[in-house]
Structure 1
Amino acid sequence: MTLTRQRLIFLAALGSALLLGGAFVFQGLGYAPCKMCIWQRYPHAAAIALGALAFFVPLPILIALGAIAALITAGIGGYHMGVEQGWWEGPTSCSAGAIDNIDPDALFDQIMAAPLIRCDEIPWQLFGLSMAGWNMVISLALAGLWIAALKVRPTSE
């Protein structure tokens, strides 16, 4: 199988779709995402949209933007992994809830019932890497696919 520009774009966008889908599966299994986990999802959504567009209109700018999106989520994943490992401090607020027009007793009950979601704790890991670490590693590989797509001459399939 020859890796054409369209195939590379498809693989890169598919990779982001699988990572984003995996995040939602973990969330469904009870692993509530922290603030930085959510931040990592936005560039994947952008990469999926860019991939869908670039698959049919493979403009170099769209492909470059896909690579940038993959590098951004890899960077956020790396930052998050560093926070989890205690290499540096993360955001001071990693969880929030709606307050709206609520009386103090109901607010207290809401706070006490809310799960504690911290950016500096590792809820799941595989081979020593957390979800944020795996996002970084795989997103760097996806960025490589986007960059390879930029380098491949366009063909008509």
Structure 2
Amino acid sequence: MLAQTSFRIAFAILLIASGSIVSAWVFEALGYAPCELCLKERIPYYVGVPLSGLALFLAAREQTRLLLAAFAGLALIFTASACFGAYHAGVEWGFWPGPTDCTGPLDHARSVEDFLTQLQRVKVVRCDAVAIRILGLSLAGWNAVISAGLASLALMGAWTALRHSRC
């Protein structure tokens, strides 16, 4: 019974995390260019998806000690992801300043040559500008919500694995 619960939790984390990163790629393909912070917000998913696959494998094999470590790792990864998503959402709402390389005032050209040089540079997607809001939240805000949910699931999985290891 506890092994089935751990398996279901690991499977849910794998599905939700995979769906989240695929959704980010779809939005990017639809023309919503990610900013620097958006790209950094994907890193926990690049680590969390394979780790949740490992947790699924460990749950199927009933390797409770390793499963506990995998769930603990997932809880840490997605807690950090939720905090980073909340930070980025706060930058978008103007609660605090973001990184200077993708927020703040735009540089004004001092001469025509400076202007032409700026035109040749790559366009920087601003971290404090929201590309799209869904139900009032930006994608960074949704990342914070989804990551917090994934962290909660991972904690539930860790608790389940811990209880199973004691039996």
* Alignment TM class, shorter chain as reference: 0.7 to 0.9
Q: Distance in 1 between matches of 2:117 and 2:46?
A: 33
| Identical columns (%) | 37
Task: Check if 1:94 corresponds to 2:102.
Answer: yes
Output the amino acid matched with 1:51. Answer: S
Q: Which residue of 2 aligns with 1:42?
A: 43
For structure 2, the residue ranges without an aligned partner over 5 or more in a row are 60-65, 104-113
Q: Distance in 2 between matches of 1:131 and 1:110?
A: 29
Q: 1:8-62 CA deviation, whole Å, 9 max, x = no partner?
A: 0111122111111010000001111001001110001111011111111242111
Q: Which residue of 1 aligns with 2:111?
A: none
Mapping for residues 64-143 of structure 1, pairs under 5 Å: 64-94=72-102, 109-111=119-121, 114-143=122-151
Q: TM-score, normalised by structure 1?
A: 0.83
Q: Distance in 2 between matches of 1:144 and 1:85?
A: 25
Specify which structure has the higher proportion of helix: 2
Output the amino acid matched with 1:21. Answer: V
Q: CA RMSD in A?
A: 2.3
Q: Which residue of 1 aligns with 2:110?
A: none
Q: Distance in 2 between matches of 1:36 and 1:66?
A: 21
Deviating runs (4+, > 4 A) in structure 1? 106-109
**Structure ID, larger Rg:** 2
Q: Distance in 1 between matches of 2:134 and 2:119?
A: 35
Q: Does the 8 Å contact 1:83/1:90 carry over to 2?
A: yes
